[in-house]
Structure 1
Amino acid sequence: MKLTRRSILCGGAVAGMTALAAPRLARAEAQALRPLSGAELVAAAQLGGEVGYLVADARTGLVLEAMNADRAMAPASTAKTITTLYALETLGSSYRFVTRLLATGPVSGGVLRGDLILAGGGDPTLDTDGLADLAAQLVRAGVRGLTGRFYTWGGALPYAAEIAADQPVHVGYNPSISGLILNYNRVHFRWKRGQGGYALGMEAWSEKYQPTAYTIDAALANRSTPLFGYRQTGGKEHWTVASGGLNKAGSLWLPVRLPDAYAGDVFQTLARAQGCALPAPEPLRGLPAGAQMIAARQSSELPVILRSMLKYSTNITAEAVGMTASAARGANAARGASGAAMSAWLAAKLGGGKARFVDHSGLGAEDRISALEMVRAVTLLGPKAGLRGLMKPFGLRDSAGRTVEVPGLRVDAKTGTLNFVSTLTGFITAPDGTELTFAIFTGDLARRARSQSSGEPEGSRTWVRRSKVLQSQLITRWAALYG
């Protein structure tokens, strides 16, 4: 089917979808587009796989140009755009996450006569400095010790060992999910070679504090591959590193798989430094009735968290925010069910559609949404949510991949990148002030499936570079043609 302005707006290409609130166009006007120019750019990129895009007038919703716009494709991290809209409508812009310290008894003579519970509230931004603040609050409340046990509770969100199953074991952007999240559920692994061999360390690194993480350790292994190995025993995490894979000194973030134990361990160390001795942390399945809050830490308001999430594409933030929104709607907050709840929400807002989310970050390759649905969401729901103000400027590239500036042209967008998947969506201000919304999806999922998940497959970086050049060429063309 030939995609015209009218057919896309009125559902000729996507059955059951409502218009973007645009005026009807005459046939001659609809045929005045120049889709071959866009097609020639796509052909020159030599990506293979699939390419779908759509650009619309941001004020009227009028579709100006499209290619395969109704084809459901993997959005990668542009899925966070939908998560942002979903969370802001559900939770509200004033929403804050809260991490609490709860007590099951009174404080008397510097001793808590009962149990202490570190209760997570799903805050994806809690760091070691924030835990140190909670420890200081505990001491100010008069607690120097306790008669009972020290528990951690992460039940505010369902646990998942990882966000996506097809990622390398050691990448810090694919950690576990829990209602108790510390340092984005990552631990700072560092190494330094000396005369006696390598010194290895695991630390809960933040701006002010870098305590040792005692529930996670690392050891060298006499092998060449794989670079990292992982296992759990006795409630602790153990990493091995190939002895030939380390340079003289360095560091990186490794994912945490036992987040409640990690947070409890670090809090115990910080509380001890404040003069409060706590027993070893133990996991707690459910909060006891009647427990009283004796300290709390609030996160920043939701838009601040979402702006950082979109800027740095933080996967654990997207999952925590999206799952919290689903729980607030009374839906199953488990990752797959929560993604389905967001899919149903989007379909209700757009009047139908084929979008399907299994997560909120786009880290997995199973999510699907069309360029048409993405642009409709950005155009219809974005202004009320203040979406453009949360996105970051996008730098255009020339045919050689070098950053270029076009006077008067501004793009605020969310990028998405997986191996052999590159996506972009957001807002364009043309030099004459015309406002446009757009989505560009490229993906070769067959080639991705054939690649190894243990690292960056051969050809992926070049493929993504060509896709990003194509994105810039399309945006520059649209600004010139429709601005």
Structure 2
Amino acid sequence: MMLAGLLAGVALPAVAEVMDTSPRPKARGGKASATGGEVAGGQAARKPVDAEALIAEAKLGGSVAFVVMDAATGEVLQAREPDLPLPPASVAKAVTALYALDRLGPGHRFVTRVLATGPVQGGMVQGDIVLAGGGDPTLQTDQLGDLVARLAKGGLKGATGRFLYWDGALPVLRGIAEDQPDHVGYNAAISGLCLNFNRVHFEWKREGADWRVAVDARGERFLPPVGRVRVAIAQREAPLFTYAPGQVEEWTVASGALGKGGSRWLPVRDPGAYVAEVFRTLARAHGIRLEAGERSEALPAGRELGRVESEPLPVVLRDMLKFSTNLTAECVGLAASGLSTLDASARAMSDWVAAAFGVEVDLHDHSGLGGRSRVTARGMATILQRAEAGRRGLKPILRDMGMKDDAGKEIKGHKVKVLAKSGTLNFVSGLAGHVVPPAGGRELVFAIFSGDPARRDAVPVALREGPDGSAAWTKRARRLQGRLISRWAATWS
């Protein structure tokens, strides 16, 4: 049943927040009181919320840390373990959004181009055709198909030379985190050419004693098959998947998990070659004859024949924060730093946080997916408070999470907004953002981190997509977050 649950009905959008772990900042000023309140500016804070009872009721184990402060002044109103470094999970993406806005600018767009290294005569490029990626993490098959259609309408028929692709705008990395299973789509490969969040659609249907299997790069209007990824059904109960890299990426799936039919997205580990194959398939369907793609180590000089532009950076980041897309976070972070490894890029972002906000963080990627990053509740709340004071553009693109009742359900039509970024990993949960009351109320900034990293680390890598107990733990952690926020809003907003 568990295996079937991991497979059946999971042809999800590429943008889904998923389980994973870790980041870190340090606190400044104030001393925690024995009741969990904070002495700020030498004056006793108002009576704090009874957080200990709520935490005890949640029965999470591990650690729970939080800070809630006045958004205008930065005065800490209540805190618990404010300086304890814990994994922020996808809350780290809020830091990445700030970093990208500062380094790339709100007008930045990612561009994917088609170049010709020679003149076009009679529809034929007298030279090579080049698909040049610009690190766009949001490129989808339909956009690529529309680009090809425009080229064909303009009379392009092919090239006398090669079909090249260049994916060097970003480092080519086979995944974000080493401590994740091979088959999880949220641990995406990274490249200057990306498509469909670097995943292929795998679909199966029982036909007698066998299965019909299809692998494609589907969009809403285009359905190009993919040959460089193959999936075979193996007569076994476990393991759920096996993966073998190569020029053709080979997967096997346990027959015992398949049932009568279903689908899911699988990661692609060589995105540049994948995008080139899909582009060639779409081109040939429009009468543009191209040879198999060859990777170019350097960007060839050439005249632009066509392009696809991403949405402006704030829109890209808004969707990243809403859907928690790990690939987007890593691509924008790497583009902002210009560095060649995730660890170096995240270290540069950590240094930028220290310079911009006076907060120490220890980040090892831009998405929060890896297991080594750490952040403190005070540090995260301070970043948010100072970012808003400096009008850095994060708050307008945060998602309204809604005020929750004690059962964890959103209270529809509530006048208080909770603009925040959540983070969810195995036995790790975070939430940080703004509590925005109606006009005249007191706005709050908060960060809540709950985590049991030792419990997470004890889960075998192959089982980390959804280990026993993690879903129930996450539900309790999120309910605790909602209960804390509702009481803070009632007390101080």
TM-score between both structures, scaled by the size of structure 2: 0.89
Using the TM superposition, name which of 131-140 and 76-85 deviates more. Answer: 131-140
Corresponding residue number in structure 1 for 2:11: none
- C-alpha distance in 1 between matches for 2:414 and 2:115: 56
Distance 1:12 1:38, change over 3 A: closer
The structural deviation recorded for 1:284 is: 1.4
SS of alignment partner, residue 217 of structure 1? strand
Q: Which amino acid aligns with 2:481?
A: Q
How far 1:354 moved relative to its partner? Answer: 3.0
Q: Which has the higher contact order (CA 8 A, sep 6+)?
A: 2
Could you tell me how far apart the structure 2 residues matched to 1:302 and 1:424 are? 23
Provide the residue aligned with 1:18 in structure 2.
none
Code of the aligned partner of 1:285: E
Please name the residue that 2:456 is paired with: 448
Counterpart residue type for residue 34 of structure 1: P
Change (3 A) 1:42 1:405: farther
Task: Tell me which amino acid in the other structure corresponds to 2:471.
Answer: R
Where 2:251 maps in the other structure, the secondary structure is strand
Classify 1:319/1:214 alpha carbon distance in 2 versus 1 (closer, same or farther; 3 Å): same
Residue-by-residue CA offset, 1:148-199 (whole Å, 9 max, x unaligned)? 1111111000011111111122111111000100011010111111236211
Where does structure 1 lack aligned partners over 5 or more consecutive residues?
1-6, 14-22
Q: How many angstroms apart in 1 are the aligned matches of 2:321 and 2:261?
A: 31
Task: Give distance in 2, aligned partners of 1:266 and 1:435.
Answer: 49
Cα separation, 1, equivalents of 2:230 and 2:80: 51
Instruction: Determine whether 1:282 maps to 2:288.
Output: no
Matching of residue 482 in structure 1 with residue 492 in structure 2: yes
Deviations 1:430-472, CA, capped at 9 Å, x for gaps: 4663211110000000111112232322211111111111101
Aligned to 2:52: 39
For 1:81 and 1:186, locate their aligned partners in 2 and report how far apart those are by CA, in whole Å.
24
Following superposition of structure 1 onto structure 2, how do residues 327-346 of structure 1 map, counting pairs within 5 Å? 327=338, 332-346=339-353
CA shift at 1:11, angstroms?
6.4
Equivalent residue of 1:385, what SS? coil
Residue 268 (structure 2) aligns with: 256
Contact residue 394 and residue 413 of structure 1 kept, 8 A: yes
Partners of 1:464 and 1:109 lie apart in 2 by 61
Gaps (5+ residues) in structure 2?
1-25, 33-38
Post-superposition shift, 1:333? Answer: 3.7
Q: 47, 50, 61: which one pairs with 2:63?
A: 50
Structure 2 counterpart SS, 1:177: coil
Percent identity for Structure 1 against Structure 2: 48
2:160 to 140, 143, 147: 147
1:16-64 per-residue CA deviation (whole Å, 9 max, x = no partner) reads xxxxxxx97344x34x4436x1222222222111111111111121111
Matched, 1:88 2:107: no
- The size of the alignment, in residue pairs, is 458
How far did 1:8 drift?
A: 6.2
Q: Verify: 1:10 aligned to 2:29, yes or no.
A: yes
Cα deviation digits, residues 119-145 of structure 1 (max 9, x gap): 100001111111112212332443212
Mapped contact 1:391–1:412 kept (Cα < 8 A): yes
Q: Provide the C-alpha distance between the structure 1 equivalents of 2:330 and 2:388, rounded to a whole number of angstroms.
A: 20
User: What's the counterpart of residue 217 of structure 1?
Assistant: 230
**Equivalent position to 2:126, from 113, 124, 147:** 113
SS of the residue 1:183 aligns to:
coil
Task: Name the residue aligned to 1:409.
Answer: 416
Alignment pair present for 1:382 and 2:388? yes
**8 A Cα contact 2:403 2:416, kept in partner:** no
Q: Which residue identity is paired with 2:442?
A: T
**CA root-mean-square deviation:** 2.0
Aligned-partner Cα distance in 2 for 1:65–1:430: 18
The answer as to 2:438 corresponding to 1:426 is: no
Aligned residues of 1:141 and 1:294 also touching (Cα < 8 A):
no
Q: Could you say which residue in structure 2 is the equivalent of 1:158?
A: 171
Of the three residues 366, 374, 385, the one matched with 1:360 is 366
Instruction: Give 1:300's match in structure 2, choosing from 311, 315, 318.
Output: 311
Q: Given the alignment of the two structures, is residue 132 of structure 1 paired with residue 132 of structure 2, yes or no?
A: no
Pairwise CA distance, 1:396: 4.3
Task: For 2:299 and 2:104, locate their aligned partners in 1 and report how far apart those are by CA, in whole Å.
Answer: 23
Q: 1:100 to 1:8 in 2, by over 3 A?
A: closer
**In structure 1, C-alpha distance between the alignment counterparts of 2:177 and 2:93, rounded to whole Å:** 15
Give the distance between the partners of 2:364 and 2:244, measured in 1 at CA. Answer: 26
TM-fit CA distance, 1:264: 0.6
Q: 1:314 to 1:8 in 2, by over 3 A?
A: closer
Structure 1, residues 278-323: CA drift from partner, whole Å, max 9, x if none?
00111111113x3222211111101111111111100000000111
Query: Structure 1 residue 399: deviation in Å?
Result: 4.3
1:291 is aligned, of 281, 293, 302, to 302
Question: Could you tell me which residue of structure 1 aligns to residue 75 of structure 2?
Answer: 62
Counterpart-to-counterpart distance in 2, 1:12 and 1:344: 26
Contact 2:40 2:76 in 1 (8 A): no
Which is worse superposed, 220-229 or 413-422? Answer: 220-229
Distance in 2, Cα, partners of 1:265 & 1:110: 21
| Structure-2 change in CA distance of 1:322 and 1:8 (3 Å) | closer
Are residues 50 and 135 of structure 1, via their aligned partners in 2, closer, same or farther at CA, if it must alter by over 3 Å?
A: same
Is 2:330 aligned against 1:316? no
Alignment match, 1:393:
400
**Do structure 1's residue 195 and structure 2's residue 208 form an aligned pair?**
yes
Q: CA deviation at 1:254?
A: 0.5
Match of 1:470 in 2: 480
Q: In the TM superposition, what is the alpha-carbon distance from 1:400 to its structure 2 partner?
A: 4.0
Greater Cα offset, 388-397 or 48-57: 388-397
- Structure 2: distance between partners of 1:423 and 1:119: 38
SS in 1 for 2:245: strand
Contact 2:193/2:272 (8 A) holds in 1: yes
**Kept after mapping to 2: 8 A contact 1:8/1:63:** no
Aligned with 1:133: secondary structure? helix
CA distance in 2, matches of 1:185, 1:54: 37
Cα distance per residue 1:220-254 (max 9 Å; x no partner):
11211111111123x11111111111021211111
Corresponding residue to 1:71 among 58, 64, 84: 84
Which residue is equivalent to 2:248?
A: 236
CA distance in 1, matches of 2:422, 2:311: 24
Q: What is the rounded CA distance, in whole Å, between the counterparts of 1:323 and 1:11 in structure 2?
A: 35
